[in-house]
Amino acid sequence: MSIIDLHSHSNRSDGKESPTEVFEHAAAAGVEILALTDHDTTSGWAEATEAAAKLGLGFVPGIEVTTRATVLVDGAKRFISVHMLAYLPDPQHKELAETMYETVNSREIRAMKITDLLSRDFPITWDLVLEMVEDGATIGRPAIADAMVKLGIVSDRSEAFAGSLDKHGPYYIATETIDTLAAIKLILDAGGVPVIAHPLTDLNPNSSRGDLPEEHFEILVAAGLAGFEIYHREVPENAREWLLQLAKKHDLIVTGSSDYHGIHGKPNRLGENTTSAEMLQRIITRASGTEAKL
Ligand code: AMP
Ligand code: FE
Ligand code: FE
Ligand code: ZN
């Protein structure tokens, strides 16, 4: 039995550590197989491959693709943010690479706009936000949070997310990005396996499926969605049972992961949630884009 964690971030996106450091910490935590799934980039894969080989760990290449779904709730259109894990896609796939490039660009424009809104009330500047990220890394709200920490406005990222950076707060702007259905088709076309990351986290916690119609999920499954990351600290307990039933009905893959962002990035700890060897095998069997390094 291996300890398998299929979701982590490095400083190629919003994690605080290099891919090498992430794998060193994985080894120390007893994780044996780790997926690096930076937001909208594969730029950490090469370093992860090397680090994993040196440490004798398995490496599963992945991406956390930023997508947006349009859902009809009680006859009204609603846009929701859906993070789609893509396991083992071909990183050279032209359309996938172009889509990631565009998303990284629109994330940057959006982060600039959020910073601009914040600068009306706080002494934050875009230059300072840029200082918080490695060259070429995918920018997200965590970089803005880091700038606020640097300025002494908040003491850590979580405090920023609970305050000014909250999704429902006055400074929030959504990222313009690929539609969720289109992303599923694209990931499949690139030989990857699409799994929804931390489903139902941002939605009404009083309802098992956050008042989204079941049809929303059925449409994604019909398009080729392969599974759900059900065991994740942000997936509410009451959503898990419903998602498990849905997964059973369609014989989908079910995963569990940490979503590690570094020791000082987020409280999530490597190996705190894990995926079974059987489920990883199903991912590997379905993929044709690139190989897992086990
Ligand atoms: P964005 O993708 O720019 O909208 O930012 C969302 C990202 O912020 C998520 O992918 C998480 O990595 C990170 N995040 C969300 N909540 C927190 C938190 N409380 N502390 C640290 N990072 C967070
Ligand atoms: Fe993140
Ligand atoms: Fe995510
Ligand atoms: Zn993540």
The pLDDT, as a whole number, for residue 206 is 66
The pLDDT, as a whole number, for residue 213 is 86
Q: Which residues contact 264 (CB under 8 A, 6 or more apart)?
A: 16, 156
Protein residue with its CA nearest to atom 19 in ligand 1:
158
Q: Is the pLDDT of residue 19 over 80?
A: yes
Q: Which atom of ligand 1 is nearest to the CA of 111?
A: 3
Tell which one of 141, 172, 202 to mutate to probe ligand 1, the residue whose CB is within 8 A of the most ligand atoms.
Answer: 141
Which CATH class, in words, describes the domain spanning 4-286?
Answer: alpha beta
Query: By percentage, how much of the chain surpasses pLDDT 70?
Result: 98
Tens-digit pLDDT profile for residues 53-101: 999 999 999 999 999 999 988 888 989 999 999 999 999 999 999 999 9
Class of residue 155 by CB neighbours under 10 A (exposed 0-12, middle 13-18, buried 19+): exposed
Residue 211 pLDDT level (bands cut at 50, 70, 90): confident
CA separation for the pair 274, 30 (Å, rounded): 12
Q: Which residues contact 70 (CB under 8 A, 6 or more apart)?
A: 77, 78, 79, 179
Supply 24's token pair. Answer: 């060193």
Assess whether the C-beta atom of 262 lies below 6 angstroms from ligand 1: no
| pLDDT, the chain, mean | 96
The pLDDT, as a whole number, for residue 281 is 98
Q: How many A from CA of 198 to the centre of ligand 3? A: 7
Assess whether the C-beta atom of 141 lies below 6 angstroms from ligand 1: yes
Tens-digit pLDDT profile for residues 254-293: 999 999 999 999 999 999 999 999 999 999 999 999 999 9
| Amino acid sitting at position 17 | E
Residue 118 pLDDT level (bands cut at 50, 70, 90): very high
The pLDDT, as a whole number, for residue 205 is 64
